[in-house]
Amino acid sequence: LLRQATASLDLTDARDRRRGAELVIPVLAKIPEASVLEIYAQQAAGWLRIEPAALLRDVQALKSGKGPHPGPPPRAVEGDFRGREPAGQANNGASKATKDEGYLLGLLIERPDLLPEVAGELQAVNFSAPAYERVFARLQQMVASEATVRPTDRLSEFAPDEQGLISAVAMAKYPELDSGSEAALRQSLDQCIQTLKINAAQRRLKALVAEMRAARASGDESRLVTLMQENDRLAHQLDALKDMRHGQG
| Structure confidence by residue, pLDDT tens digits, 35-64 | 777 777 777 777 677 777 887 888 888 877
231 has a pLDDT exceeding 80: yes
Q: Which residue has the higher pLDDT, 177 or 12?
A: 177
pLDDT over 50 (residue 107): yes
Please check the confidence at residue 3 and state whether its pLDDT lies above 60.
Answer: no
pLDDT at 143 (0 to 100): 92
The answer to whether 172 and 106 have CB atoms below 8 angstroms apart is: yes
- pLDDT for 139: 92
pLDDT at 246: 63
| pLDDT tens track for 197-208 | 888 888 888 899
- Asked whether the whole model's pTM tops 0.85, one would answer no
Amino acid at 72: P
Residue 6, exposed/middle/buried by CB under 10 A (0-12, 13-18, 19+)?
buried
Q: What is the pLDDT of residue 61?
A: 84
Full 3-state SS string of the chain:
CHHHHHCCCCCCCHHHHHHHHHHHHHHHCCCCCHHHHHHHHHHHHHHHCECHHHHHHHHHHHHCCCCCCCCCCCCECCCCCCCCCCCCCCCCCHHHHHHHHHHHHHHHHHCHHHHHHHHHHHHCCCCCCHHHHHHHHHHHHHHHHCCCCCHHHHHHHCCHHHHHHHHHHHCCCCHHHHHCCHHHHHHHHHHHHHHHHHHHHHHHHHHHHHHHHHHHHHCCHHHHHHHHHHHHHHHHHHHHHHHHHHHHC
pLDDT of residue 8: 59
Most confident of 14-23, 53-62, 82-91: 53-62
- Span 136-186, pLDDT tens digits: 999 999 999 998 888 888 888 999 989 888 888 876 777 777 777 788 788
Give the model's pLDDT for residue 67.
Answer: 54
Closest CA to 105 of 153, 162, 157, 160: 162
Q: Any bridge partners for residue 76, and if so which?
A: 50
Confidence (pLDDT) at 23? 78
pLDDT value at position 76?
41
Whether residue 75 is predicted with pLDDT greater than 50 in this model: the reply is: no
Contact 36, 2 (CB under 8 A): no
CA–CA separation, 127 and 31 (whole Å): 26
How far apart CA 40 and CA 61 sit, in angstroms, is 17
**Beta-carbon contacts of residue 230 (< 8 Å; ≥ 6 apart):** 208
Q: Say how far apart CA 54 and CA 136 lie, in whole Å.
A: 50
Contact call for residues 216 and 187 (beta carbons, < 8 A)? no
Work out the mean pLDDT of the chain and round it to a whole number: 76
Query: Do residues 5 and 16 lie in contact, with contact meaning Cβ atoms separated by under 8 Å?
Result: no
Determine the pLDDT at residue 70. Answer: 43
The lowest-confidence range among 11-20, 98-107, 221-230 is 11-20
User: Rg for the chain (alpha carbons), in Å?
Assistant: 24
74, pLDDT greater than 50: no
